[in-house]
A and B are shown apart, each in its own frame.
Chain A
Amino acid sequence: EAQVTQNPRYLITVTGKKLTVTCSQNMNHEYMSWYRQDPGLGLRQIYYSMNVEVTDKGDVPEGYKVSRKEKRNFPLILESPSPNQTSLYFCASSLVTGKRNTEAFFGQGTRLTVV
């Protein structure tokens, strides 16, 4: 089954404790991205990756890191989480043909609470 898998689904952590949210897709998609969803703000892009070893900032990259060492994986790293990073996070992947992004497939989401 084609899918995007995020782990964990729920996470409560303390301020400053490094954490990683994993994302994996089995569709051989080039493009992967991370979004955060906050009430009244919709989904905002944090980082995206056009392919292995190619990453770039989205609209709200501060406080986050990513890496793309393999095509299928795109982990999101919070080196020193703060309460304002409490949010619902989504990973997405899509096929890019002729440099044109097609529909995105989303993971189930990770609800992160930083206390």
Chain B
Amino acid sequence: AQSVTQPDIHITVSEGASLELRCNYSYGATPYLFWYVQSPGQGLQLLLKYFSGDTLVQGIKGFEAEFKRSQSSFNLRKPSVHWSDAAEYFCAVVPMNTGFQKLVFGTGTRLLVSP
């Protein structure tokens, strides 16, 4: 079935440590790829997006993501996590078979940052 998978429901990282959040998709053709962040009580904010081209994408707040076609993955990374990064992170895709019209979300990963 076509889907977006975020295998980690919760992740705890120490402040200053590196972070990687996983995202896999199962669509026949490479969709558009996004990462959104939701801080407590807030709406969703776009961190970064991939449409085509360079597979390493830079985003806001020091985040980056790497698209790997062979693994159908779009993992989010940050070299040094800050306490303010504690939030819920959603991977999302716009699949080609919807005419690039529909945004489909993963179930989210909640990031906890320990002192």
Chain A residues at the B interface, C-beta cutoff of 8 Å: 4, 31, 33, 35, 40-45, 48, 50, 58, 90, 92, 94, 96, 99-101, 103-109
Distance (Å) between the CB of B66 and the closest chain A CB?
A: 19
Cβ–Cβ < 8 Å partners of B83 in chain A: none
Quick check: B90 and A108 within 8 Å, CB to CB? Answer: no
Bitwise, B85-103 to A at CB < 8 A (1) or not (0) is: 0000010001000011111
* Residue in contact with B32 in the complex, picked from A50, A101, A105, CB distance below 8 Å: A101
Chain B residues at the A interface, C-beta cutoff of 8 Å: 6, 9, 32, 34, 36, 42-46, 49, 90, 94, 99-108
Given A31-B101, A100-B100, are A106 and B44 neighbors across the interface (CB < 8 Å)? Answer: yes
Complex CA distance for A43 and B4, rounded to whole angstroms? 11
Quick check: B9 and A40 within 8 Å, CB to CB? Answer: yes
Cβ–Cβ < 8 Å partners of B42 in chain A: 108-109
Quick check: A101 and B106 within 8 Å, CB to CB? Answer: no
* Residue in contact with B43 in the complex, picked from A45, A48, A107, CB distance below 8 Å: A107
